[in-house]
Amino acid sequence: MSTRVRLRVDPIACDGRGLCAELLPELISLDDWGFPILCDTEVPSELTKEAREVVKLCPKLALWLEQVSKA
């Protein structure tokens, strides 16, 4: 299954716990205050599994994968 997806974060739910950036540093970095800066391009297919893991792992359920519509 190769649906194109993008990582998104709910900034209200996000607490800056930082688990996501530990698990997926290729797509997620932390700002000066520990909150995630997500790469806003679509998730490369080789990282899709990790992206799903990260969404599952967030303790605040703040991450989700958004479908990218064909431009």
Partner 1 sequence: MSAVVGASSSQWLWFVSRGSGLVLLALFSIVVALGVATRTGSAPRTWHRFTVAELHRTFSLFAVALLVLHVVTAIADPYVSIGWWATVVPFVSHYKAAALGLGTLAVDFGAAVVITSLLRHRIGFRAWRAVHWLAYLAWPVAFIHSLRAGNDLGLAWAYTVEWGSAAIVATAVVARVLHVARSSVPPGSAPAPSVHAQAQARSGW
Partner 2 sequence: MAGPQALDRLSLPARRLYEAPSRLPRLLQGQSIGESTNLSEHLELRGPLPSWGPDAHSRQALIELVDRSGLRGRGGASFPTALKLAAVAGQEGLPIVVANGTEGEPASAKDKVLMARSPHLVLDGAVVAAQAVGAREAVLVCHPAVRGLVDTAIKDRRELRIDAVRLRAVDAAERFVAGEASAVVHWLERGVPTPTRTPPRLAERGLHGRPTLVQNVETLAHLALIARFGANWYRGVGTDSEPGSMLVTVIGALRRPGVYEVAIGTQVSAVIDQAGGTLERPQAILLGGYFGSWAAYDEAAQRPLSRAGLAQLGAGPGAGLIAVLASDVCGLAETARVARYLASESAGQCGPCVFGLPALAGELESLAAGGAFDRTRLERWLGQVDGRGACRHPDGAVRMVRSALAVFTAELERHARSGCCSQGGAEILPTPIGAR
Q: Which of residues 12-71 bind partner 1 (CB under 8 A)?
A: 13, 15-19, 22-23, 33-34, 56-57, 59-61
Partner touching 44 among partner 1, partner 2, none, CB below 5 to 8 Å by kind: none
User: Hey, is 28 helix, strand or coil?
Assistant: strand
Partner touching 17 among partner 1, partner 2, none, CB below 5 to 8 Å by kind: partner 1
Q: Of the candidates 1, 2, 3, 12, which one interacts with partner 2 according to CB under 8 A?
A: 12
CB contact set of 51 (below 8 Å; sequence gap of 6+): 5, 7, 24, 27, 43, 65
User: Hey, is 5 helix, strand or coil?
Assistant: strand
